[in-house]
Amino acid sequence: MKPLLVLVVAAAAMPLLLPGEFYLAIATQVLVYGLFAVSVNLIAGYCGMVSLGHAAFLGISGYAFALLSVGAGWPIWAATTAALGLTSLTGAMFGLVALRTSGLSFLMITLALGQIVWGIAFRYVDLTNGENGISLPRPDGVLLHGTGLYYLCLAVTAGCMLFVTVLTRSPLGAAMQGVRDQPRRMSTLGYDVWAIRYVSYVLSALLAAASGILYMLTFRFISPHALSLTVSSEAVLMVIAGGLGTTFGPLLGAALVVLLKNVASAYTDRWPTLLGLIFLFIIVVVPEGLLPGARRLLGALKARVVAPDNIGANLTRASRIEGARQ
Amino acid sequence: MISRRQLVAGAGAVLALPSARAIAQAGPIRIGMLTVKSGALAAGGRQMEDGFRLFLSERANRIAGREVAFMVADTGGQPALAKTRAQELVQRAGVHVVVGPVAAFEALAINDYLQEAGVPFLCASAAAEDLTQRRINPWFVRTSSTSAQPCHPLGEYVARDLGYKRVVTIADDFAFGQEQTAGFQRAFVASGGTVVRKLWSPLNVADYGSYIAQIGEPDAVFAAFAGANGLRFLRQYAEYGLKQKIPIIGAMTTVDEGVLHSMGDEALGIVSAGWYSAALPGDANRRFVTELRKETGVDPGFYSAGAYSAGLALENALQNIDGKVEDKQAFMAALRKVEIADDPRGPWRLDSYGNPIQNIYIRKTERKGGRLVNTVVKTYENVSQFWTYNAEAFLSAPVYSRNDPTKL
């Protein structure tokens, strides 16, 4: 629990630790994209379904929030509830279509659904203002300053991560992981594989919707770019880079991508190449993702430090977890 | 784990920052440019940077007697990233003015932020109509034009001078192409022409064949493309054998000098309209073109000229306030009153909305001295973004789009 405590304290003290508003804005972005990656991880990591259309949920939620709060003048809480509800409903409908398939076909169907939503955002100019996008006016109250926004994003993201952790340790979560590893056996055992997948897909859409509202509050501007395939695939990359099916992996992956995009690009024009090289490095050296990979490497290092005949007795906690997973 | 002492030291450093900034006030004029160095828009971004750097090197890196610190940030052509980069320039680098960005959607994504931060925003490229129309930011001025500004006179010229009555339009299916087409359509129809059909091709379409096949037999085709799309469309149009049958009318960027050097015979004879041509007479332009050709090897176009003008505008404003860029209100007021007499493009001044009133040139692509140039055949002087229309009536109508002014 100790590293977790350090992490929580560090996250809470972040506005004090960072030397300026700009860095806090970057930290806030890490949380927003981190939550989005967590939503992708819920279905990809725990339920074995990789989606390439998840930006659609982020976008629907963001657009709904913007249109209802600016266009229709709803109060923030009402717009938030409606955006979450609408996106979950869309997720429930998309799930009916997408979950007729699995594996590669699921990937393609979600890609198609994502592109449909992108097309609507792009073409339905009367509603979405097309490529010119929708701006959110400056909020008042606690969100006026970067610190307030940071803590809001921290609270929501941490809450959602806690929710995912509790979920994955519940019987439903165990069933999800069972469906991921052995769908046929789960079916034989009497589990309704489709229903388990469906529930996790809709829950994942709900989490993506939450990240969409945070996105809107952070960037205060949404255009079809936010729903593009790039955003969807970046989230998948974040999850894979950080560690598929881990609690903090998506957040780590999001931090990696956001920092590279924003910090590395200040030093080199070739940052997309750098991003590609880093992903290549991850795939070659730690194919299971940074977080589990680091644990494995640390475990191997420790095992080498202690005497060889003591290895069995000195199995680190991390490698025991690794063992239990396999 | 961070010790308490380090934490205190860190907090001290944070508190010390404002005073460090106060000292820096006497330092150089800090100019931040938002450009695109990676992805599809990178060519325009590079040309924009070239234009501004040329201006700075001509002035030996000094404006109004003060040193200039110039920094460049890459937005990757993504709105979300553009916002972060703008924040970086303002909060981390503390720039006095932001120049750029390339694309309209980037400008729209950062416009509100720069307005709240109260940072002068000197737009050198992004042509979105609403930036100087329905979404006015008092801190925003533009040195390029609105999308439709050159297309209004072009519409009139095509109907009256060229006498074409039936035109098919084809354009990139994004805001810039839509606004250009709408402006052309409005003025062309008002001058007695008919737009038979409007075709829209996606920005990243691989093949224009299916669109060219739908053109039919009009008097002319109006083509509005940005970047390398103009090059690809014109080449395919010639390959389909239509070039000899139906003439092409181009928007400014379809045959922009930035891509014109990659084109061949397919571009010959195209009539287009723009606020600049590298072939313009006049000493200011000749010098600008010669110097830029030395740097880049090709003629300046839309992006380089717009950025160079941004430099001139900055200089003009700063000279009027003795280089005191720290007085933001006075600086912005001076920037809004900018009047440039010896710009390479010809004289221009800003209207009360922050958009240039400038000459629009009708140009014809010819081959001269072994390279393609846009020879000026007619000049419409002092054209505003509202053309001949009443500004208030113009602004009460919806912004130009696929379906406005007329759906087809």
The three-point CA angle B315-B319-B325 to 5° equals 80
Distance CA B98, CA B113 (A): 12
Residue A82 lies in a domain: yes
The number of CA neighbours under 13 Å toward the Cβ of A313 is 5
State the pLDDT at residue A308: 55
State the pLDDT at residue B350: 96
When mean pLDDT is compared across A43-47, B72-76, B211-215, B301-305, the lowest value belongs to B72-76
State the pLDDT at residue B17: 45
Q: Which residue has the higher pLDDT, A19 or B321?
A: B321
State the pLDDT at residue B271: 97
Distance CA A268, CA A270 (A): 5
State the pLDDT at residue A307: 55
pLDDT of B10 above 50: no
Cβ–Cβ gap A19/B17 under 8 Å: yes
* 3-state DSSP assignment of residue A36: helix
State the pLDDT at residue A1: 62
Residue A146 lies in a domain: yes
Which element (helix H / strand E) includes B67? strand B66-74
**Phi, psi values for residue A186, rounded to 5°:** -60, -40
Show the tokens assigned to B385: 């973004």
Cβ–Cβ gap A125/B401 under 8 Å: yes
**Chain A residue closest in CA terms to B135:** A135
Shortest Cα–Cα distance, B164 to chain A (Å):
31
Distance CA A146, CA A16 (A): 12
Distance CA A132, CA B404 (A): 15
Q: What is the mean pLDDT of residues B310-332?
A: 95
To probe the interface with B, which of A132, A233, A258 has the most B CB atoms within 10 Å? Answer: A132
Given this chain, do its domains B7-144+282-344 and B151-280+359-396 carry the same CATH topology?
Answer: yes
CA B190 from chain center: how many Å? 26
Distance CA B390, CA B394 (A): 6
The dihedral region occupied by B280, where left means phi > 0, alpha psi between -120 and 50, and beta the remainder, is beta
Q: Which of A155, A297, A274, A174 is nearest to A217 (CA)?
A: A155
Q: Provide the residue ranges of all domains of chain B, joining segments of one domain with +.
A: 7-144+282-344, 151-280+359-396
Distance CA B255, CA B249 (A): 10
pLDDT of B408 above 80: no
Is residue B12 very low, low, confident or very high in pLDDT (cuts 50, 70, 90)? Answer: very low
Task: With a cut of 70, list the residues of chain A below it in pLDDT.
Answer: 1, 307-326
Shortest Cα–Cα distance, A269 to chain B (Å):
6
Residue A270 lies in a domain: no
Q: Which residue has the higher pLDDT, A140 or B65?
A: B65
Distance CA A205, CA A195 (A): 15
Cβ–Cβ gap B76/A133 under 8 Å: no
**In total, how many domains does chain A have?**
1
Residue A194 lies in a domain: yes
Residue with tokens 């040309």: B47
Which element (helix H / strand E) includes A304? helix A290-305
At the second CATH level, the architecture of B151-280+359-396 is 3-Layer(aba) Sandwich (3.40)
- Give the contacts of B354 (CB within 8 A, at least 6 positions apart): B132, B136, B140, B141, B142, B336
Distance CA A152, CA A37 (A): 18
- CA A283, A288, A292, A293 dihedral sign is negative
Show the tokens assigned to B33: 């440019």
Shortest Cα–Cα distance, B173 to chain A (Å):
9
**Chain A residue closest in CA terms to B10:** A17
Cβ–Cβ gap A272/B38 under 8 Å: yes
- Residue from the list A10, A131, A266 with its beta carbon closest to the beta carbon of B175: A131
Q: Which of residues 288-347 of B touch A (CB under 8 A)?
A: none
Residue A322 lies in a domain: no
Q: In the CATH hierarchy, which fold is given to the domain comprising B7-144+282-344?
A: Rossmann fold (3.40.50)
State the pLDDT at residue B302: 95
Give the residue numbers spanning the domain of A68.
22-262
Cβ–Cβ gap B38/A20 under 8 Å: no
Chain B CB contacts of A267 below 8 Å: none
Average per-residue pLDDT in chain B? 91
The three-point CA angle B182-B185-B187 to 5° equals 110
Q: What is the mean pLDDT of residues B35-41?
A: 84
Residue A182 lies in a domain: yes
Q: Does B357 touch chain A (CB under 8 A)?
A: no
pLDDT of B322 above 50: yes
Q: What is the mean pLDDT of residues B329-339?
A: 96
**Inter-chain contacts counted by CB atoms under 8 A, chains A and B:** 102
State the pLDDT at residue B23: 41
**Chain B residue closest in CA terms to A261:** B81
Task: List, for residues B365-379, the tens digit of each pLDDT value.
Answer: 999 989 999 999 999
Show the tokens assigned to A214: 């945070």
- Residue from the list A16, A20, A271 with its beta carbon closest to the beta carbon of B92: A20
Q: Does B15 touch chain A (CB under 8 A)?
A: no
Q: Does B401 touch chain A (CB under 8 A)?
A: yes
Distance CA A93, CA A205 (A): 11
pLDDT of B6 above 80: no
- Residue from the list B81, B85, B116 with its beta carbon closest to the beta carbon of A138: B116
pLDDT of B352 above 90: yes
Q: Which of B33, B157, B130, B143 is nearest to B88 (CA)?
A: B33
Distance CA B340, CA B334 (A): 12
Is residue B26 very low, low, confident or very high in pLDDT (cuts 50, 70, 90)? Answer: low
Q: Does B10 touch chain A (CB under 8 A)?
A: yes
Chain A CB contacts of B85 below 8 Å: 262, 265
Cβ–Cβ gap B10/A133 under 8 Å: no
Chain A CB contacts of B38 below 8 Å: 269-272
Instruction: Sheet containing B140-142: give its strands across.
Output: B62-63, B66-74, B29-35, B97-99, B121-123, B140-142
Shortest Cα–Cα distance, A44 to chain B (Å):
25
- Residue from the list A125, A132, A262 with its beta carbon closest to the beta carbon of B108: A132
* 3-state DSSP assignment of residue A240: helix
Task: List, for residues B266-310, the tens digit of each pLDDT value.
Answer: 999 999 999 999 999 999 999 999 999 999 999 999 999 999 999
